[in-house]
């Protein structure tokens, strides 16, 4: 549902000058199959070791489920918005797009 929501807004992200990248612990092969089956236009990256998750401090929900966190990062590499929800997964794309648009065309507040 989350990936479909981002795909549904992908053109709007592109128009706002943003790039969408999905990251999970799934394998590269799994990502390829998933992206093909869902006709995803954005990049999916595999974080099998959890290194990226650790760098960004993504915690597990209830200590067992991988967290679902969306970051809006400006062109300078500064995290400008964070949205975390295991339940309201379709809201990730809406929150992120609103934050991207708030940054403006140059990506700065």
Residue 49: count of CB within 10 angstroms of its CB: 9
Per-residue pLDDT at 82: 92
CATH number of 2-103: 3.40.30.10
Given a cut of 60, whether residue 10 has pLDDT beyond it is yes
Q: What is the pLDDT of residues 32-86, one digit of tens each?
A: 999 999 999 999 999 999 899 999 989 887 777 778 899 999 999 999 999 988 8
Given a cut of 70, whether residue 106 has pLDDT beyond it is no
pTM of model > 0.95? no
Question: What is the DSSP annotation of 4-43?
Answer: HHHHHTHHHHHHTT---EEEESS-HHHHHHHHHHHT--SE
CA 19/CA 75 separation, integer angstroms: 10
**Burial category of 8 from C-beta neighbours within 10 Å (exposed 0-12, middle 13-18, buried 19 and up):** exposed
Counting every residue, how long is the chain?
109
Q: Tokens 């929900």 label which residue?
A: 61
């Amino acid at each position: 549902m989350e990936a479909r929501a981002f795909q549904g807004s992908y053109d709007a992200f592109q128009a706002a000058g943003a790039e969408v990248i999905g990251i999970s612990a799934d394998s590269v092969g799994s990502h390829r199959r998933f992206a093909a089956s869902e006709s995803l236009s954005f990049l999916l990256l595999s974080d099998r070791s959890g290194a990226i998750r650790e760098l960004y401090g993504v915690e597990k929900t209830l200590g067992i489920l991988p967290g679902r966190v969306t970051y809006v990062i400006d062109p300078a590499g500064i995290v400008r918005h964070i949205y975390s929800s295991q339940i309201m997964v379709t809201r990730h794309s809406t929150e992120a797009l609103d934050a991207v648009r708030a940054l403006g065309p140059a990506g700065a507040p």
